[in-house]
Each structure stands twice: as structure tokens, then as C-alpha cells.
């Protein structure tokens, strides 16, 4: 749906002072999205392969901003077969956890065990061995203001 996103989808994401004194951080803001909301996604491998993160316990990141952000991990089991996944039926119900953002930088550790599907899509089992991308999104109707830094497996 129509909405306002800064930067636009055609621009590079800007940087601003980051967490823990880092030189830069991702910043995206917007409003007016009425059907699907808005967000950003980071593909972990552009060649279509899945990342094996079984040696890790989860993902952690520093964030600040306003509103609630939904952090999602897309796996082979939640991506449709047409896109290289194994999901048949209602797909894209990725494994997720929701967080209320604060104005100050805060560290958010997300253990694999805390990730759950919302339940509207085809049920799947989380497999850390088949991760495709990470997503940070806001629900429809919500304004978004997200600063993100130091995303890493732990």
C-alpha cells in the first residue's frame, strides 16, 4: 500500500552514530502502510543457499527507536517451493519474536528457542541449519523508526 519510507527502496540505507560508539548504524523510518506494514530484510546468502547456524545459540542485535519491531528468521521450511524453500500451502509464517523499542540503544539477544510462528501459516519446525534471511518489520498502521547495529550470531 501507499506509504512513506525513508530512505526510499531505491536508495542505500543511511548511517548514523551507532551502538557502543560504532561509526554507523542502519536507520529506516516510515508510516502510512495499511495492508502489510513495512520493514527491512537481510539476505544471508545471495546465491540461494541456506546458512547453517547450528553452531550458534541465536541472533543478537542492538536497536533503538519507537514502536514494536517483529524480528523474524526465514528458513527453508517457511519459504515457498517456488522460491527455493520447502513450504507448501500458506507460507512466510517465519519464526519470530516481538520487541518494544526504546529511545536508547539496547541489546536484544534472541535465542533460537524463543522463536515461534504466528500460527496463520503452514506449521514448520525451526532448523538453524537452513536459514535464508533475517527480517525486521512493523505491523500495518504502525509508524516505524528503527536504528539497528551489530547484528550477529552468538
Write the CB contacts of 47 (distance below 8 Å, at least 6 apart in sequence): none
User: pLDDT (tens digit, 9 = 90+) per residue, 124-135?
Assistant: 999 999 999 999
pTM, entire model: 0.90
Cell numbers representing residue 22 in the block: 560504532
Query: Torsion angle, CA of 14/19/21/24, rounded to 10 degrees?
Result: -10
pLDDT attached to residue 11:
65
pLDDT in tens, 20-31: 999 889 998 888
Q: What per-residue confidence (pLDDT) applies to 45?
A: 80
Amino acid at each position: 500500500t501507499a506509504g512513506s519510507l525513508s530512505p526510499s527502496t531505491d536508495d542505500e540505507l543511511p548511517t548514523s552514530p551507532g551502538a557502543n560508539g560504532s561509526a554507523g548504524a542502519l536507520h529506516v523510518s516510515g508510516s502510512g502502510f495499511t495492508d502489510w506494514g513495512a520493514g527491512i530484510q537481510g539476505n544471508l546468502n545471495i546465491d540461494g543457499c541456506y546458512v547453517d547456524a547450528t553452531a550458534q545459540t541465536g541472533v543478537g542485535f542492538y536497536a533503538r527507536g519507537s514502536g514494536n519491531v517483529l524480528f523474524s528468521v526465514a528458513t527453508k521450511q517457511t519459504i515457498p517451493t517456488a522460491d527455493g524453500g520447502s513450504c507448501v500451502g500458506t507460507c512466510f509464517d517465519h519464526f519470530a519474536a516481538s520487541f518494544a523499542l526504546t529511545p536508547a540503544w539496547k541489546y536484544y539477544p534472541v535465542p533460537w528457542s524463543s522463536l515461534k510462528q504466528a500460527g496463520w501459516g503452514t506449521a514448520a519446525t525451526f532448523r538453524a541449519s537452513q536459514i535464508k534471511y533475517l527480517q525486521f518489520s512493523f505491523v500495518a498502521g504502525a509508524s516505524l523508526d528503527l536504528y539497528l547495529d551489530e547484528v550477529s550470531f552468538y
